[in-house]
Each structure stands twice: as structure tokens, then as C-alpha cells.
Chain A
Amino acid sequence: MRALLVEDDMVAQTLLGGLLREYGDVDTLPSGSEAMLRLEEAMMNGDAYDLICLDIGLVDVDGTEVLQRIRELEDHLGRWKASEATRVVMTTGRSGPKDIVDAFKKNCDGYLVKPIGRDKLRQELDRLGLI
């Protein structure tokens, strides 16, 4: 499994990155804008990630905006809703109904509220058929 973790807090990045590494390669980026660039590049090169973990409260571009951009790109490339669509899981401290509904409306695959430990992550990856 190849994963991209978008997280601006270094402590959460170390924790979640460390947990994800158990299942494969992990790239980490601290901002939404960098994530969008990286994802566009990866998709254009046919080298998409299997999983993207997206924090919502990023300093520059909101995580849900990054999600929207991912789905637009996939749509454009004819991949969205195809089996190869990238799994996107929101990994955030926000647990309000508005944030959750908004993320699912924009077609995230999962929503994990921090703190995210080993068991919670494993269950989610299992549910998504990634492990």
C-alpha cells in the first residue's frame, strides 16, 4: 500500500505516519497546497496513491477542498467511481456533524476523529479493503 499523509502538526504526523508505515510506503506533506500539487502530479503520471489521509484544519487549503480537488481530477481522468479511485480518509480533530457531513458529501471514504491509534486505523484500513 502506498499512502500520502497530509498533516500540519508534526506530532500527529509522527504518530499516524509511524502507524501507517506498518502497511507500506508513506509520504507526508504539511499543507493542502503542496498536497494538491503532489496529487495532480501523481495522477497525471498514472502513479496514484492507494490511500490519502487528510487533516481538515490545515493552515492554507482546507482538507475538504483538497478532497474535492482529488475527486475533480479523478472525474476528469475518468477514474472516479472506478475501482481504482483513491481511498481518502479524513483524519481530523473535528468531530462536528457539519464537518463529517460535508466530507462525505464531497465523497471521502472514511472519517477518523483524532486521536487515532493503531487499532482504529487497522479497522478502517480493513474496512476499506486496503489490508
Chain B
Amino acid sequence: MSKRASVLVVDDHPVNRKITKKSLEVCGFEAQSSSSGHEALAQVAKNDFAAILMDRHMPDLDGLQTTRLLIEKWGKDTPPIIGLSAGSAKDEAECRAAGMVDFLPKPATPETLKRCLQVWLARPAANDLVDQPVGDALAPRAAPSLTATDHARVFDQEEALLMVGGDTELLLQVVLTYLSVADDYEERLRSAVLAEEPKATGEAAHALKSAARSLSAHELAELTDLMERDAASMTPQDRTQLLERIEQAALTLRHRLKSLASG
């Protein structure tokens, strides 16, 4: 980052706002703050923020509504919005569904904030990626720097090419098919987990696993396999935790595939 990136903190609680702002400054970011959704809308119109940290629960306009309004107004020029809440996994799901790109549980330590923002501020411009719909709940995100082994765990390109007998055109079709259905598969899984329906969870996990296996996406295939086999015997908390890992793996995979498909 050549110039110091400016981050907007939106939180109605004065103490929380101050702590988050201070944490950002400690990490080397320039920080501004808003005490309400309305104020945030006005500030985004005047300033070019690198990212926004958005409290989920606020009176009047809450974090979800504010996020939707920002995306409606600024489309793909909306800075990445990261949700903050002390609440449950449901909060995270709602934040992502509203269009936030990431979520941090409160209180977020300076280290957590820094790691999260580094990922987002290093991401490629949205228009470098293929077919990114405006306001996509799962907007583009940069994968943290990965080793070669990690890369192969996310998407084993060598194996995938072997599968198609070196037919890169067919591999591209498979990748594009995955990108066109992944949202739907993930949404089905998320709804089933949040509705605490183990049978539907197993079925949705199976669908995502099948797709991941066809792609040689080992990490996602293994995590969804675990969910498919053990959903019925897991506690709702365990299912939610596994869902989070699956969503993370799916996002990393999507990012990899999009950069491959556009390259």
C-alpha cells in the first residue's frame, strides 16, 4: 500500500467505536468513524475508503440495511464491508447475505483486524474477476498467501488436467459450470445448517462434495464429506463451525478458479 489506507468504522456504541478506531491506528491504518448508518452513507459519499467495518446491530438503520443501501448506491465501487458482531453464527450469515464480504466476531483484536484487512486491501479489483454480479453476497476476496501444497489442496490443477486428459477447453467448461452453480449449492447448505435440518444438510453437503470432487478441489471435498457423513450426529454448534470452514474453503476455491478462468 503506497498511501495509508483509510478505513471507516461504523458503530453506534461510543466505546466500541473508539476501541476499534484505536486498534486500526495501532495497525497502521488511518481510521474514521460514524455513529450511525445514515452518517456512514454520507461519509462514503464524500470519501474514498479502502474498507468499512460495520457493526451488525445498530438502532434506526442497522448494519445490514446500511450495507444494502451502500451496495445499491455504489455497486461494485462499494468498499469491502466487513461485519462485526458479538452475536451468533446467524449474524454472520445475515451479514454475508446482505453483501458484506467478511465477518469478525467482537471483540476483534488488533491482530485479527490487521489480518482481515490485509487480505481485503490486497485483493484484485472487482472487474479483474469474471462475472462478478454487483452486490454478490460472496464478493471477490483475495486468498491469503498460500504455499504450493495449500494451492493443490484448494484446487489440484495438475490432477484436474489429468482427469480431462489434458483437454484445457473441457477443464474450463467444468470450472465455469462450478462457478455458475456454487452459489446455489452453498446457499442450500447454509440454509439447511441454519434451519438445523440434518437430513437436508447431508444432502446439500453431498451436492457440493460431488461438484468439488469433479474439480479436484480436495479441501472442499473433504470438509463437505465430513458434513455429509456426520451431520446427523453433530451438535448444531459443530455443524455451524464446520459450515464456516466449508464456506471459507469454497470462497478460496472460487477466488482461485476465477483468477484461472480470467487468466
Contacts and interface: CB of A to CB of B under 8 A. Distances in A.
A12 B210 contact: yes
B248 to A, nearest CB: 20
A64 B206 CA distance: 18
A58 B209 CA distance: 14
B165 to A, nearest CB: 3
Nearest to A18: B170
B174 A15 contact: yes
Contacts of B174: 11, 14-15, 18
A12 B217 CA distance: 13
Given A14-B173, A18-B173, A57-B206, A9 B164 contact: no
B165 A117 contact: yes
B165 A10 contact: no
Nearest to A93: B210
A116 B163 CA distance: 7
Interface residues of B, number: 22
Interface in B159-177: 162-165, 167, 170, 173-174, 177
A49 B189 CA distance: 35
Contacts of A81: none
A32 to B, nearest CB: 15
Contact of B214 (A8, A11, A57, A118): A11
A119 interface: yes
B123 interface: no
Interface in A70-127: 93, 114-119
Contacts of A119: 162, 165
B163 A114 contact: no
Interface in B136-171: 162-165, 167, 170
Contacts, number: 65
B213 to A, nearest CB: 5
B191 interface: no
Interface residues of A, number: 19
Contact of A118 (B163, B181, B203, B215): B163
A9 B211 CA distance: 7
B210 A15 contact: no
A13 B203 CA distance: 18
B214 A115 contact: yes
B215 A11 contact: yes
A57 to B, nearest CB: 6
Contact of A11 (B165, B206, B211): B211
Contacts of A15: 163-164, 170, 174, 214
Contacts of B85: none
A59 B164 CA distance: 26
B180 interface: yes
Interface string A24-66: 0000000000000000000000000000000001010000000
Contact of B177 (A8, A10, A59, A115): A10
A112 B78 CA distance: 47
